[in-house]
Amino acid sequence: MTDRVTIFDTTLRDGEQSPGASMNTAEKLRLAIQLEKLGIDVIEAGFPAASEGDFEAVARIAGKLQKTEVAALARTTRADIDRAWAAVQHAAKPRIHTFIATSDIHMQYKLNMTRDQVVESAVEAVRYAKTLTDNVEFSAEDGSRSDPDFLCRVFEAAIEAGATTVNLPDTVGYAIPNEFAEQVRYLLARTPNIGRAVLSVHCHNDLGLATANTVAAIQAGARQAEVTINGIGERAGNTSLEEVVMTLHTRQNQIPVTTNIRTEQIHPTSRLVSMITGIMVQPNKAVVGANAFAHEAGIHQDGMLKNPMTYEIMRPETVGLSRNRMVLGKHSGRHALRSHLKEMGYDLSDEELNLVFGRFKDLADKKKHIVDEDLEVIVTEGILRTAEVFHLEYIHVTAGNTVYPMASVKLEINGRSVQGANYGNGPIDAAYNTIAQLTGTRSELLRFSISALTGGTDAQGEVTVRLRENGLVALGRGADPDIITASVKAYINGLNRLEYLKDHPVMATA
């Protein structure tokens, strides 16, 4: 008999705490729809008490998803729980997730509370949340560094008060696999009413052990894993979904559990997350890295040709990577485009479809095969980002080895058109100088990187920038067959994210 592990995705909440990653409401909604398609059981959509923007995003997602549970995070105060409930109450399957720290160091220095007070606060919060919904999760922040017997006491009390899931977080990424598995076994053995709740784990990757700890915990009996796509998250990130899911999938002989994940949606989801957040996946990243299935050594290639199983433990197709994915071309019509977008998860209005179709035709003139990534770019840039402050209208540059590089740029700023021109050391520098001047921004360019979105010489160039202004850091991303235009789009996207961050401070939590 095999057990099922609940996959709880917190890309939209903990993942958004990655330095520089912030997503607007339309982007979050798009990602939530893709997460549902991936087969996620529970999506943690945000922390509604943190900001208006968070509240709105959670409420929009709650109103949209049908199959996936939508969770909202709350501290143990009534105000937080009310706010969380107000955001998720219209979800088909709502969940309230409340948390308080249980380690001595957090209770003493952060909360300034005694153990008894923490238990009381947890119980009160769960009991109150339970009056609003049946589906209540309780987390013991910094659980891995908490006294094991005290943790049993807190969980027992939380379950008694109505918690249906209790979560053990390794908030600071300190645990090691054997120790963490032992903690899970201890909690299962010593919490008398644990059979009435699902035991969950939530790991961070500070020592590179998040996946190992999560898998060890599942082997020890945990039945919910809290993860993010590409492992994004604060500091070194969270446990990455694709690593845990593919470990369980590939090693069923050792770990007889199943998940609801449709593995062939893993790669498209990973691409979407890096596209929306601007956080690129390292090439050697397990499962979703560009080189994850690249076999370089001749002896390996020879073996692979004879039988792929000689060196391949997973098939690229299983995680949604297929070699020839031409989806649409120059002659594809509006109807084919609409139905393909629908398959990808986009339900566009006629007006939106017209816009996407126009851009699709423009791109098809420059590029022979249009793949999903190209369409995602058109939709993210054309529709999801429309509420932004700065918009590119046109860019013209002169460059070469005999001219002084100059750019002239026209932008729309809050609906008003402005234009200007400036010089620079190169065409990109000239364009950036002009844009900084037009927008009156003084951001510092910390990083600039460029890569190809897909294979082939006609592939779109994909540019990521990291900008800093007044202590705030934001990533920006842009793609275009022309790399200068891609660079300009990335810069403007970064500036827009900085604007967004000024109004939406991200509140850090467990």
How far, in Å, CA of 184 to CA of 182, rounded?
A: 5
Nearest distance in Å: CB 10, Zn ion? 7
Residue nearest to Zn ion (CB): 14
Nearer to Zn ion, 14 or 376 (CB): 14
Query: Helix, strand, or coil here: 96?
Result: strand
Nearest distance in Å: CB 13, Zn ion? 8
Show contacts with Zn ion in window 311-370 (CB under 5 A): none
Residue 44, interface with Zn ion (CB under 5 A)? no
Query: Helix, strand, or coil here: 11?
Result: coil
Residue 14, interface with Zn ion (CB under 5 A)? yes
With a CB cutoff of 8 Å and minimum separation 6, the contacts of 454 are: 371, 373, 374, 460
Nearer to Zn ion, 158 or 201 (CB): 201
Query: Helix, strand, or coil here: 267?
Result: helix
DSSP string, 143-181: GGGS-HHHHHHHHHHHHHHT-SEEEEEETTS---HHHHH
Contact by Cβ (8 Å): 425, 431: no
Nearest distance in Å: CB 26, Zn ion? 25
Q: Which residues of 124-133 are buried (b: 16+ CB within 10 A; e: fewer)?
A: bbbbbbbebb
Nearest distance in Å: CB 151, Zn ion? 17
Nearest distance in Å: CB 8, Zn ion? 11
Interface with Zn ion (CB under 5 A), residue total 1
Nearer to Zn ion, 239 or 485 (CB): 239
Only one of the segments 9-17, 88-96, 181-189, 491-499 lies at the binding site for Zn ion (rule: CB under 5 A); that segment is: 9-17
Residue 141, interface with Zn ion (CB under 5 A)? no
Nearest distance in Å: CB 170, Zn ion? 9
Nearer to Zn ion, 14 or 480 (CB): 14
Nearer to Zn ion, 95 or 267 (CB): 95
The 8-class DSSP code of residue 107 comes to: I
Nearer to Zn ion, 14 or 54 (CB): 14
How far, in Å, CA of 480 to CA of 457, rounded?
A: 13
Nearer to Zn ion, 233 or 405 (CB): 233
Phi, psi of 408 (to 5 degrees): -120, 135
Closest CA to 18 of 466, 478, 470, 469: 466
Nearest distance in Å: CB 167, Zn ion? 10
DSSP string, 378-440: HHIIIIITTT-SEEEEEEEEE-SSSS--EEEEEEEETTEEEEEEEE-SSHHHHHHHHHHHHHT
Only one of the segments 6-14, 18-26, 86-94, 157-165 lies at the binding site for Zn ion (rule: CB under 5 A); that segment is: 6-14
Closest CA to 7 of 37, 31, 43: 43
Nearest distance in Å: CB 46, Zn ion? 13
Only one of the segments 13-21, 64-72, 213-221, 345-353 lies at the binding site for Zn ion (rule: CB under 5 A); that segment is: 13-21
Nearer to Zn ion, 14 or 243 (CB): 14
Applying CB under 5 A, the residues found at the interface with Zn ion are 14
